[in-house]
C-alpha cells in the first residue's frame, strides 16, 4: 500500500517558520490534503489540493507538492499552531482509497 512518511516532531520558535514534510513515492503526481489536530479535538482541514486554503484558514498556512515530497509551511508561527499535522492522499487505483501520513507534532518553543 502507499505509505506517507512524516517527521514525528518539529519544533519552532514563535514568529518563525515551521516546515512539515510528507514523503511518498511520486507523491507529486497526487493531490495532498493537510489536517491540523489540536489535543482532544477532531482534525481540521487546513490545506486541500496541495496548496488551497479553505475558508477561515489563515494565509500563514501554505502548501506545495513535487517529486517525492509534499510540504506544509506555517509562517509567523503562533502558540495556537501547536498541534499534530497529518497529510492525506486519495487514490482510486489502490484498495486503500484514503491514506494518511504518520503525523507530525509541532511544538512551539
Partner 1 sequence: QLQLQESGPGLVKSSETLSLTCTVSGGSISSNNYYWGWIRQPPGRGLEWVGSIYYSGSTFYNPSLKSRLIISVDTSENQFSLRLTSVTAADTAVYYCARIGSGNLHSWFFELWGRGTLVTVSS
Closest CB to partner 1 among 18 and 86? 86
Number of H helices and E strands in the chain, helices first, is 0, 9
> Are 109 and 13 contacting, i.e. CB atoms less than 8 angstroms apart?
yes
Asked if 97 is part of the footprint of partner 1 (rule: CB under 8 A), the reply reads yes
CA dist 108 and 100 (Å) reads: 23
For the beta carbon of residue 50, count every other beta carbon within 10 angstroms. 20
Q: Considering only residues 45, 60, 64, 75, which one is a binding residue for partner 1 as defined by CB under 8 A? A: 45
User: Taken in order 92, 26, 3, 108, is the CA torsion positive or negative?
Assistant: negative
Among 5, 31, 64, 75, binds partner 1 (CB under 8 A): 31
**x/- letters, 73..92, toward partner 1 (CB under 8 A):** -------------x-xxx--
The residue (of 50 and 81) whose beta carbon lies closer to partner 1 is 50
Please report whether residue 48 would count as binding partner 1 according to CB under 8 A: yes
Amino acid at each position: 500500500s502507499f505509505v506517507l512518511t512524516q517527521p514525528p516532531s518539529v519544533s519552532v520558535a514563535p514568529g518563525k517558520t515551521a516546515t512539515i514534510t510528507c514523503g511518498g513515492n511520486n507523491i507529486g503526481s497526487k493531490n495532498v490534503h493537510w489536517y491540523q489536530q489540536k489535543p482532544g479535538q477532531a482534525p481540521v482541514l487546513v490545506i486541500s489540493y496541495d496548496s488551497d486554503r479553505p475558508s477561515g484558514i489563515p494565509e500563514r498556512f501554505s502548501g506545495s507538492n513535487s517529486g517525492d515530497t509534499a510540504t506544509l509551511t506555517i509562517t509567523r508561527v503562533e502558540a495556537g499552531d501547536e498541534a499534530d499535522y497529518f497529510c492525506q492522499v486519495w487514490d482510486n487505483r489502490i484498495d486503500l482509497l484514503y491514506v494518511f501520513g504518520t503525523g507530525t507534532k509541532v511544538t512551539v518553543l
